[in-house]
Each structure stands twice: as C-alpha cells, then as structure tokens.
A and B are shown apart, each in its own frame.
Chain A
C-alpha cells in the first residue's frame, strides 16, 4: 500500500482543535498542523515539543557579554590604556562603570541576532525558499491537519471514517 499524506482542512481554529483532540484520543498520530496564526493550545494535543530557542538566546547573550568584556579589557586596559582626566585605568574593575553600556548593548545584539538566525535556519525559512504550506489558503483563513498513513497503524479507510465526524470542509490526499 502506497504511503499517503492526508490533509484535512477546517475553516475554524476551534473546530480544528476539537477535531485534533478527538483524533488523538482515538490513537491517531497527527503529523502537523498549518494555520494562518498561532493556535494556542494545539502544541500539546498534536505533540509538538516546546522550542529550546530561549536557551540558545541565553547562550548567545552570554557569548556576547564575554566577547564585549574580553574585547574592552584588551583595547582599554592591556593594549593602549588611555589617560582620560586621570581616571584610573590599571584594571578592568577600576573602570568597569564606563564599560556597562556597551557590555549591555553587545549582549543584546548577540542574543537577538543569534536567536533570529537560529530561528530562520531551524525553520528552514530563508530568502527565496519555496512555500512550504500544503494549500495557499492556510495563510488566509483555513486550517489544515496533516496525517501520514505511514505513521499510523490504521489503514486509510479507518482513518477516513474517524476523520469524517470532525467537521472538516475539505480533504486532500497525496501519495508520497
């Protein structure tokens, strides 16, 4: 039997969520959901794990802070200590107050850009990539559940039977 992808389309986020709940309770594995905006509460139903991008942002921020500290210590204390109005510049700690603004800015710079780049790479969304959504209407007002026959023990007929009473408006199947 050929493996198929079933796209079940709904016209309301609430209906999709209830439908997904029903299907999951029957033991169906839902591969994905497509929607024009984030549907709150869909992730635990279809088993999408929470992203770890927040941790990455923290790591990038820490890297930025370290880089700024090491850099400013080298420029201002080690390599070319400047005498500005006789202010102490023998150690980094003596002069640390002056370095607070840039340490902060550079931390934010690295955290934000590091996170944004990681986000785009993880999503595989980059300039010029082809559209990844199954139907152009999913960016307007339609909501789609993706079910793969290969991931489910039931055969297509049984799946169709269960999907039928979730209130969908269209169903589309593709061989893969």
Chain B
C-alpha cells in the first residue's frame, strides 16, 4: 500500500469500502436506465442516423456533394478529421502518460476517457474513408500484392503515415482499454442475476480469475502498453500535422506544427473529457470518485496546453513576418484580417484567452464554469483547424482562383452526424460498461481514500 502526504486532498471522498465501490459503479449498469438516458440516446441516435444517411447519399452520388471547389479541395472533411483525432488524444494520454508518471487521479477518469478516445478515433477515421468517394476500395491504402503492376502505396507520403498511425493508435488504444476492462467485467459477471446479462458478461470477461499470477501479468501488460502508447500518442498527432507541414502551401509549411498540434490535441481532448464527465458523474452519482480535485487537475492540463497553443499561434505570426517570405507573411495577415477574420477571432478567443482564466483557483474549481469553458475550447479547436485549412487554401497564388468555401447541407449533416454517433456510442458505453476502473480505484482506496487518510493510524507506519 502506498501512502501519500496528508495535506493532499483525498481522491475518494466519504467512507467507502471495497464493496461500496463495486456497488456504486455496478448499480447504474444493473438498475433500469433512467428516462433521461432514453431521451438522450434517442436524440443521439436520430442525429447519428441522419449522418449515416448523409454519408450514404455522399457515397451514392460522389464527393461533389460537398461544398468544395477548384481552389478549396480540402475543407470540412479534413477539419473534422483533425478535430476528432485531437479529441481522441486525451484518453490514451490520461491512461498511458499519467500511468508512467504515477498520477493516481487518472484512475477515476481513465476508463471513460479511453472509451471517448476510441469513439472519437472511429469518427475521425470515417472522414478519410468517405472522402475516398469509393469506400469499397478503401483497402487500397494497404500494401497488398495486386494486379496493377504491382503498384505499391507510397511510403514517402504523410497520408500513408496517417493510415498506419491512426490504425495503430485505434487498435492499441482498444486493446489497452479492453485489457483493463476484463477484470471489471468479471466483477459484473459475478454479480449478475439475470441469465442473459450473466452470459454476456461471462463472454466479455474472458473467464477472468483474479489470481496472483494473472494480476502480476496484468500489471506488466499495463505498464508496457503504457510505455508503448506514450510515444504513440505524441506520434499520431505529429503525423497528422505532417499532412500539412510537409506540403508547400503558405501557412502549412511550418516546422512548429507537430508540437503545436499535439498540444492542441491534448487541450481539446481534455475539454471533451470534462464535458462528458461533468454530466456523467452527476447522472450516475459518482461524485465521490470524480470530484472538484479531479476537475481542477484537468483544468490545469487545459491551462498548460492552452498556453502552449497560444504561444504557438504567436510564434507562427512572428515567424511569418521574420521569414521574409511574402507569401507566408500574406497568409497570416489574411488569416487575421481577411474574409475569414471571424473564424480567426473565434479561435483566438476560445483557445488563447479562455484557458488563461484557469489561473484563478476559484474558476478552475467551479464545475459550472469548467463545463462552459470545455465547450468553448472544443468550438475553438474546431475553428483552429478550420482557419489553418481554409485560409491557407482559399487565396491561391493566382488571384483569379481566389475563392470562398460554403459548406453544403451534406457537409454539415455528416459533421453533426458524427457528433450524434459519438454520443450514441458513449451512452451505450455508460449504460453497459463499468465507467470507472474498479480494480484500480480499489487499489488506491487505502492510500487516497478520505476515511483512511483521516484515520489516526494512517501515518503510523511511516
């Protein structure tokens, strides 16, 4: 058992026992779903299905249904892709990087953050696939022996790096998540009364035993997967940024992109975690496990990464002038003062100013304010990608090609649809899966639980 400083706020509030933790996490799964869940699920499903409809229409008709034109050949699809991948960065960061740093507060949020990651990466992966127009030849991105020559995919291209990065990230995150879930499924399995539920959770829990050797392996696998996933998290968004940085378009061709994209990804990912968890802790009465201290820690991460992003914006502006390249300088001037100034303004306000408010202890410990900022940040991060992509493309070198982008209803439908699908998946997760990592929470109860910290013999053995 690990002890920690007495002045550190306990991570588990109240007088919980091991059994209470099991009860608290399993009750929402075993009870009937509240009416609100059905309402939310219904809305999310309808929106999601509308998105699926738009995608089917797009596949049937062609990519021409998007509002693209001869100048702007990449618009909402890539914006949404980068936005979703960015959101998908918090989960693995929380579970892998914070595991290596032995941050115990991660244990209350890692399970649902990882679920969010996986669903967000699903949504992200959708965009490159549908933008091929012909989904059924999607396997052409893999180096498979073929009858064209044989013609291989181009391993020099960042777009192919993306294929490998995203698919590795998705599958490794999924495995990491599931390996942590197995012991918790076993807990639900052993409590289940209804035969169907018992059968389902037996299948899902893989016959988990909880014997000492298995836990020994479990901890090793978690540690090694965390070690592997840590550089993976950083590589994925770096590679996404290479899609732009390796091109020669003014505004994209910058070396600052990889670190700046990674910081932005963590920034938006944590914001999405806040949005979801602030609702979830209330709806599922998990206030004892996810409380103000957790929210504060996450807000500090948002503040730090937000500051990195802000610094990167300013650095970019300075370098565009300092480089002496007139096209580069113009691209940035046009961003701030051109026809897309409003998007630039939204991005600056949401991403640079709003996280700075977290310096105030009162604000970063306020749940309502956090919820508000988390939404603001995600709007801002969408605009960041929109600004980078749109403003760099819409003014070609040739002024006669200058153009604006107006999203078509299908553009909007697909985007809104992915949000619906994302929430559909997340609501299903919250309904049927253990939303807290039971086994991990139990292992910190004696070290970080309130009742244990307050007991007089807590520091006896020190």
Contacts and interface: CB of A to CB of B under 8 A. Distances in A.
Given A36-B442, A104-B231, A112-B228, A123 B164 contact: no
Interface string A37-51: 111101100101011
Nearest to B169: A105
A7 to B, nearest CB: 12
A137 B1 CA distance: 22
A75 B446 CA distance: 55
Interface of B: 1-2, 17-19, 22, 143, 149-156, 158, 160-161, 164-165, 167-168, 171-172, 175-176, 179, 182-183, 186-187, 189-191, 202-221, 223-225, 228-229, 231-232, 235, 239, 242, 438-440, 442-443, 446
A139 B202 CA distance: 13
Contact of B156 (A33, A95, A125, A138): A95
A119 B202 contact: no
A59 interface: no
Nearest to A144: B210
A169 B235 CA distance: 51
- Interface SS, B side: helix
Given A82-B156, A108-B168, A36 B18 contact: yes
Interface stretch (A21-29, A127-135, A149-157): A127-135
A40 B1 contact: yes
Given A37-B442, A137-B190, A139-B183, A131 B217 contact: no
B219 A141 contact: no
Interface in A32-85: 32-40, 42-43, 46, 48, 50-51, 53-54, 57, 61, 71-72, 75-76, 79-80, 82, 84
B155 A98 contact: yes
A86 interface: no
23 contacts: A36-B183, A36-B187, A37-B215, A48-B213, A53-B217, A54-B220, A75-B155, A76-B152, A80-B149, A102-B155, A102-B160, A108-B232, A109-B172, A111-B224, A111-B228, A115-B224, A119-B221, A126-B206, A131-B209, A136-B191, A138-B190, A139-B190, A139-B210
B299 to A, nearest CB: 29
Contacts of A84: 154, 156
A84 B171 CA distance: 31
Among all A-B residue pairs, the 5 with the closest Cβ atoms:
A129-B207, A132-B209, A141-B18, A136-B190, A125-B206
Nearest to A104: B235
Contacts of B165: 101, 105
B202 A128 contact: yes
B315 to A, nearest CB: 24
A37 B443 contact: yes
- Residue of B17, B217, B220, B229 most packed against chain A (CB within 10 A): B217
